[in-house]
Amino acid sequence: METIAFARGVPAPEMLPVDELQAASARVFERDPVRLLSYGTGGGYDPLRRSLAERHGVEPERVVVTTGSLQGFSLLAQVLARRATLEGRRARVIVEEPTYDRPLLLLERLGIEVVPVPLDGEGVDVEALDRAMARGADLAYLIPTYQNPAGATLTASRRRAVVASAERHGVLVLEDDPYGLLHFEEPAPPTLFSQRGEAPVAFSGSFSKTVAPGLRVGWFVLPEELAFDVATLANDTYISASVLGQATVHEFVESGAFEPNVERARGMLAERRTHILDALERHLPEATFTAPAGGYFIWIRLPDGLDAASVVAPAAAEGVTFIPGISFGADCGAYARLAFSSPPVDQIDAGVQRLAAACTAALALA
Amino acid sequence: METIAFARGVPAPEMLPVDELQAASARVFERDPVRLLSYGTGGGYDPLRRSLAERHGVEPERVVVTTGSLQGFSLLAQVLARRATLEGRRARVIVEEPTYDRPLLLLERLGIEVVPVPLDGEGVDVEALDRAMARGADLAYLIPTYQNPAGATLTASRRRAVVASAERHGVLVLEDDPYGLLHFEEPAPPTLFSQRGEAPVAFSGSFSKTVAPGLRVGWFVLPEELAFDVATLANDTYISASVLGQATVHEFVESGAFEPNVERARGMLAERRTHILDALERHLPEATFTAPAGGYFIWIRLPDGLDAASVVAPAAAEGVTFIPGISFGADCGAYARLAFSSPPVDQIDAGVQRLAAACTAALALA
């Protein structure tokens, strides 16, 4: 019996634009081989940096292209931790609860104080966020659109409130937006970054969810001084990210393949979302959730307040994987994150059926 | 006037095997597209990991493939610093003086104590190294072959002494070997790693100097527990290095293109070495140095004990760049590192002539 994996937020194999990337790779080998195969800079492959800068309406010096956006987050957190240390204090980062588990781990490793702010079906609680910002922070790390793990999207009015709080308290907001283009019906409200005005808002994006993770290309748009420090630390740590990956994805974008591929990914993800909603209704009707309007994830509260961690082993025995809520926040034990992006679409129903069986087994053990 | 760059240890454009890498990239897109474009693991692209493990005669679990070997050094240093902190002490790393400047910077950033041990034309001073090891250290970082920056090669008898010291004191030696295959006449003595016996010796290698830096592929061979910790930290920091780069270089190696390319690189580097030795004799006869038997660098003591840092600006004005010794060690102010790998071979003579003019100018100012 093959395991059905809801655990990892990865694109399904059929979502990867293999032919277009192969063609892009071949063209860039023809066009720019010496730059492609030489060291780049900490800031990134210059043509890609410029095109991202244009997309975001900023100077290229504010863009830093990294080995996926997690690497960029690690560098940014290191810079912030160091700045705080030089001021004789501990860095402080506000996060949503729940939030993406990997940044949490990086913050903990660096000894940074993490301040969680609750999140509901309409995104982060903006009043709690404002109060947390009022106490001061080096960064507020938010995933406003199709959030990981909650699938929630910050409403338009809450977005305005977040930007206003950032400006009022002078706290830098990092808008992490790997999923923002992957809407199922209506596009999401405009990004925080696009409506930042004078507020301190930074942005991170990734080609991992819209093109292919194996390229390992993510990017940050930062205030100029911070961009310089992050690019310098990147250079000091690994000289440059893979030029091959950066040049290939740049060529892919320039050739006009990006938009059609995003459109294709939206369709495939929307179909998967429909399947998982149907399956949840059929097999786990007691589970509660907010249906995601885009992205890769659905965040369900398990029946009868089951501790999701206690379901992991029975689920593995049934042949299905997911991530228990505790990985994403201390108060999230009753939740499970299901990534519907990666299993074959015709296995989603069976996967949820197995999860339901695992819940029954866990309840019997409890 | 175009600047002649002796500053960076990079391969000349004509050293890059563009056609073979393009063919390897095309083949891997045909053969293994889904794995190529998906997330890898912190330990590296599995087929490459296995082939490197076979090359070094170890289990694949002991190999960690990273975004160039500098990234791996950063991860290793972080793991060692954390272990020491958990034991309530500061980590301590022995280095050669001079040594590669980028690891020095990473060690300093992490607050690790750096213990320099002098090096001469026959490599590191093994008695001083033994004394430093006797005082205890978390690592001894050595570049035994065609050293960066000194170009020196550790003799066979000194290699035996280093291995014996490592075993006697239980201090892990990291043999960093990016240049080892790039000999001009005789191959270098066997690596420390190959003659380690029961001694704790780790190894790091890179495809940046033998194939192409833009691939960003380096690797570490570590004791099993350390390999696990480094691979885990890699996964936590950037999930996986560029799979594209790793898969391409693996295909390049498997196709049999690696050995002929190394042979070609040796010839090109040997020719450049001859040119720079001739040019130094002609234009800077008072400079002293050990002629390198391989690699990318020559390390010269400037005439009249000139402070190399004071020559940087006049050199830039003359149109030539190099790195002053102070970057590589506190006591190295009178030295300059010239990388003869990268400038066009027919400009090497002019480059040294400009450097000589810059020395004259600096002496006039002194």
Instruction: Give chain A positions within 8 Å (CB) of B237.
Output: 70-71, 74, 106
User: Which residues in chain B have Cβ-Cβ distances shorter than 8 Å to A37?
Assistant: 16, 18, 21, 212-215
Inter-chain residue contact B34 with A16, CB threshold 8 Å? yes
pLDDT at A27: 97
Q: How far apart are CA B230 and CA B72, in angstroms?
A: 8
Per-residue pLDDT tens digits for A253-310: 999 999 999 999 999 999 999 999 999 999 999 999 999 999 999 999 999 889 999 9
Residue from B270, B291, B266, B271 nearest B280 by CA = B291
Q: How far is A347 from chain B (nearest CA, A)?
A: 19
Query: Which of A1, A157, A25 has the alpha carbon at shortest distance from B36?
Result: A25
pLDDT at B305: 81
Query: Taking a C-beta distance cutoff of 8 angstroms, is the pair B40, B241 a contact?
Result: yes
Task: Tell me if the bond preceding B47 is cis, omega within 30° of 0.
Answer: no
Indicate whether A126 pLDDT > 90.
Answer: yes
Angle at B13 between CA B8 and CA B16, to 5 degrees: 110
pLDDT of A259 = 97
- What average pLDDT does the segment A94-109 reach? 97
As a whole number, mean pLDDT of residues A354-366 equals 94
Helix (H) and strand (E) counts for chain B?
A: 12, 13
| Residue with token string 């079906």 | A121
Is A17-254 CATH 3.40.190.10? no
Q: In chain B, where are the structural domains located? A: 4-14+261-365, 17-254
Here the tokens at position A181 are: 């283009």
Kindly give the residue spans of alpha helices, DSSP state H, lying in A284-337: 309-318
Q: Which of B25, B82, B216 sits opposite A240 (nearest CB)?
A: B216
Chain B environment of A105 (Cβ under 8 Å): 236
Shortest Cα–Cα distance, A197 to chain B (Å): 31
Of A22, A109, A245, nearest to B242 by CB-CB distance is: A245
Strand pairing report for B139-142 and B123-124:
unpaired
Contacts of A41 in chain B (CB under 8 A): none
pLDDT higher than 90, residue A236: yes
Residue A217 pLDDT > 90 = yes
Q: Which fold has domain A4-14+261-365?
A: Aspartate Aminotransferase, domain 1 (3.90.1150)
Among B15, B215, B242, B342, most A C-beta atoms within 10 A, so best to mutate, is B242
Say how many CB pairs under 8 Å bridge A and B: 157
Give yes or no for a contact between B82 and B88, defined as CB atoms under 8 angstroms apart. no
Cβ pair A37:B25 closer than 8 A: no
For chain B, which residues score pLDDT lower than 50?
A: none
Please answer yes or no on whether B102 and A236 come within 8 Å at the CB atom: yes
Model confidence pLDDT, tens digit, residues A12-30: 999 999 999 999 999 999 9
Q: Is the pLDDT of residue A169 over 80?
A: yes
Report how far residue A238's alpha carbon sits from residue A245's, in angstroms, rounded to the nearest whole number: 15
Residues of B in contact with A40 (CB under 8 A): 214
CA atoms of B137 and B83, how far apart (whole Å)? 12
- Return the residue of A nearest to B209 by Cα: A38
CA dihedral A231, A38, B326, B166 (to 10 degrees): 100
Which of A25, A239, A242 has the CB atom closest to B242's CB atom?
A242
pLDDT for res B366: 75
Cβ–Cβ gap A216/B33 under 8 Å: no
- Chain B residue closest in CA terms to A28: B22
What is residue A92's three-state secondary structure? strand
CA nearest neighbour of B322 among B333, B311, B331:
B311
Contacts for B104 with CB less than 8 Å, ≥ 6 apart: B95, B114, B328
Record the pTM. 0.96
Tokens of A15: 């979502």
Could A74 and B35 be called an inter-chain contact, meaning their C-beta atoms sit closer than 8 Å? no
